[in-house]
Structure 1
Amino acid sequence: MYKPTSRRLSLVVIASSSLLSGCMSGPNYQPPASWSAASATGPFVSKAPDVTPAATLPADWWRLYDDPALASIVETALAANADLHAANANLQRAHAVLSEARAGRFPTTTTSGGVTWGRGQTSQGGAYNSSPNREQFVEQGGVSMAWEVDLFGRVSRTIEAARGSAEAEAAARDAVRVSVVAETTRSYSEACALSQSINVARSSLVLAQGSYRLVADQERAGSASSFDLERAGTAMASAQAAIPPLEGQRRTALFELAALMGRAPSEVPAAAAACTRAPQLRHPIPVGDGAALLRRRPDVRQAERTIASDTARIGVAMAELYPKVSLGGAFDYTHSGSGQFGPAMSFSLGPLITWSFPNFAVAQARIREARLTTDADLANFDGVVLTALKETEQALTTYAADMDERSALEEARNRSERAFGLADRLYRMGSTSYLDQISAQTTLTDAEAKLAASDLKLAIDRVTLFKALGGGWEMQISDEDEAASASIAHGRGADM
Structure 2
Amino acid sequence: MNFSRTLFPLTMLLLSGCVVGPDYQKPDTALPAKFSESKATSSESVALNPWWESFRDKRLNGLVHQGMAENLTVQQALERITAAEANVIIAGAGALPNVGLSAEGNVSGQDGNYLRRTSTTGASHSESKSLNAGLSASWLIDFFGQYRRQREVANASLDAAYDDVGVARLAYLSDLVSSYVSARYFQEALALNRKNLVSRRETLKLTNEIKEAGAASSLDVLQAEGLVNQTLANLPALETGFHQSANHIATLLGVPAATITSSLIKGSSQPMPRYSTRTGIPADLIRNRPDIRAAERRLQAATAQIGVAEADLYPSIELGGSIGAARNFNTRVGNLTSWSFGPTLSLPIFNGGALKAQVKVARSDAEQQYLTWKSTVLNAVEEVENAQTALIRDYQTVAAQRKVVETFDQTLVLARESYRGGASTILDVLDAERNVAESRLALATAIRQLARDYVSLNVAIGGGAEIGASTVVVSK
Query: TM-score, normalization: structure 1?
Result: 0.87
What is the deviation of 1:373?
Answer: 0.7
Which residue in the other structure is 1:387 paired with?
379
* Matched letter for residue 35 of structure 2: F
Q: Which residue, out of 86, 89, 92, partners 1:96?
A: 86
Residue 27, structure 1, aligned to residue 22, structure 2:
yes
Residue 421, structure 1, aligned to residue 413, structure 2:
yes
Higher deviation after alignment, 72-81 or 207-216: 72-81
Contact 1:47–1:397 (CA under 8 A) maintained in structure 2: no
What is the deviation of 1:352?
Answer: 2.2
Q: Secondary structure at the match of 2:94?
A: helix
Q: Secondary structure at the match of 1:378?
A: helix
Q: Per residue, is there more helix in 1 or in 2?
A: 1
Higher deviation after alignment, 76-85 or 279-288: 279-288
* Matched letter for residue 74 of structure 2: L
Which residue in the other structure is 1:81 paired with?
71
Higher deviation after alignment, 340-349 or 107-116: 340-349
* Matched letter for residue 233 of structure 2: A
Which residue in the other structure is 2:465 paired with?
473
Q: Deviations over 1:27-68 (max 9, x none)?
A: 00111121xx343xx2211359xxx97666453222222122
Q: 1:362 to 1:230 in 2, by over 3 A?
A: same
Q: Deviations over 1:149-192 (max 9, x none)?
A: 11110010011011111112222221011101111111111111
How far apart, in 2, do the equivalents of 1:162 and 1:237 lie? Answer: 65
How far apart, in 1, do the equivalents of 2:273 and 2:223 lie? Answer: 42
Higher deviation after alignment, 462-471 or 7-16: 7-16
Contact 1:87–1:173 (CA under 8 A) maintained in structure 2: yes
Which residue in the other structure is 2:53 paired with?
63
Q: Deviations over 1:210-239 (max 9, x none)?
A: 000111122122221111111111221222
Higher deviation after alignment, 264-273 or 184-193: 264-273
How far apart, in 2, do the equivalents of 1:273 and 1:473 lie? Answer: 30
Which residue in the other structure is 1:108 paired with?
98
Which residue in the other structure is 2:307 paired with?
315
Q: Secondary structure at the match of 2:129?
A: strand
* Matched letter for residue 129 of structure 2: F
Residue 117, structure 1, aligned to residue 107, structure 2:
yes
How far apart, in 2, do the equivalents of 1:53 and 1:206 lie? Answer: 52
How far apart, in 1, do the equivalents of 2:10 and 2:43 lie? Answer: 59
Q: Secondary structure at the match of 1:474?
A: coil
Q: Which residue, out of 275, 300, 314, partners 1:283?
A: 275
Q: 1:337 to 1:54 in 2, by over 3 A?
A: closer
Q: Deviations over 1:388-432 (max 9, x none)?
A: 111111111222233222222221111111111112122223333
Tell me which stretches of 4 or more aligned residues in structure 1 moved more than 4 Å. 7-13, 52-56
Q: Which residue, out of 450, 453, 456, partners 2:445?
A: 453
* Matched letter for residue 88 of structure 1: L
* Matched letter for residue 448 of structure 1: R
Contact 1:164–1:309 (CA under 8 A) maintained in structure 2: yes
* Matched letter for residue 43 of structure 1: K
* Matched letter for residue 109 of structure 1: V
What is the deviation of 1:280?
Answer: 2.8
Q: List gaps (5 residues or longer) in structure 1.
A: 121-132
Contact 2:31–2:282 (CA under 8 A) maintained in structure 1: no
Which residue in the other structure is 1:373 paired with?
365
* Matched letter for residue 17 of structure 2: G
Q: Secondary structure at the match of 1:265?
A: coil
* Matched letter for residue 27 of structure 1: P
- Percent identity at matched positions? 28
Contact 1:53–1:289 (CA under 8 A) maintained in structure 2: yes
How far apart, in 2, do the equivalents of 1:362 and 1:434 lie? Answer: 86
Q: Secondary structure at the match of 1:302?
A: helix
Q: 1:54 to 1:331 in 2, by over 3 A?
A: closer
Contact 2:38–2:279 (CA under 8 A) maintained in structure 1: no
How far apart, in 2, do the equivalents of 1:430 and 1:101 lie? Answer: 90
Residue 46, structure 1, aligned to residue 41, structure 2:
no
What is the deviation of 1:243?
Answer: 2.0
* Matched letter for residue 397 of structure 1: T
Q: Give the aligned CA root-mean-square deviation in angstroms.
A: 2.4
* Matched letter for residue 304 of structure 2: A
* Matched letter for residue 416 of structure 2: D
Residue 213, structure 1, aligned to residue 205, structure 2:
yes
Q: Deviations over 1:303-330 (max 9, x none)?
A: 1111100100000000001111222321
Higher deviation after alignment, 387-396 or 215-224: 215-224
Contact 2:287–2:293 (CA under 8 A) maintained in structure 1: yes
Which residue in the other structure is 1:16 paired with?
11
Query: TM-score, normalization: structure 2?
Result: 0.90
Aligned residues: 460
How far apart, in 1, do the equivalents of 2:399 and 2:285 lie? Answer: 29
Q: 1:56 to 1:270 in 2, by over 3 A?
A: farther
Q: Which residue, out of 165, 168, 190, partners 1:173?
A: 165
How far apart, in 1, do the equivalents of 2:403 and 2:68 lie? Answer: 40
What is the deviation of 1:115?
Answer: 1.3
Contact 2:16–2:142 (CA under 8 A) maintained in structure 1: yes
Contact 2:299–2:366 (CA under 8 A) maintained in structure 1: yes
Q: Secondary structure at the match of 1:399?
A: helix
Contact 1:198–1:246 (CA under 8 A) maintained in structure 2: yes
What is the deviation of 1:136?
Answer: 2.0
How far apart, in 2, do the equivalents of 1:300 and 1:139 lie? Answer: 60
How far apart, in 2, do the equivalents of 1:243 and 1:419 lie? Answer: 25
Q: Deviations over 1:443-467 (max 9, x none)?
A: 2122112111111222222112222
* Matched letter for residue 92 of structure 2: R
* Matched letter for residue 17 of structure 1: M
What is the deviation of 1:8?
Answer: 9.3
Contact 1:259–1:265 (CA under 8 A) maintained in structure 2: yes
How far apart, in 1, do the equivalents of 2:9 and 2:267 lie? Answer: 73
Q: List gaps (5 residues or longer) in structure 2.
A: 111-124
How far apart, in 2, do the equivalents of 1:407 and 1:282 lie? Answer: 14
How far apart, in 1, do the equivalents of 2:327 and 2:458 lie? Answer: 75
Q: Deviations over 1:256-301 (max 9, x none)?
A: 1010001111302554332332223232122222122221111111
Q: Secondary structure at the match of 1:115?
A: strand
What is the deviation of 1:366?
Answer: 0.6
Higher deviation after alignment, 365-374 or 432-441: 432-441
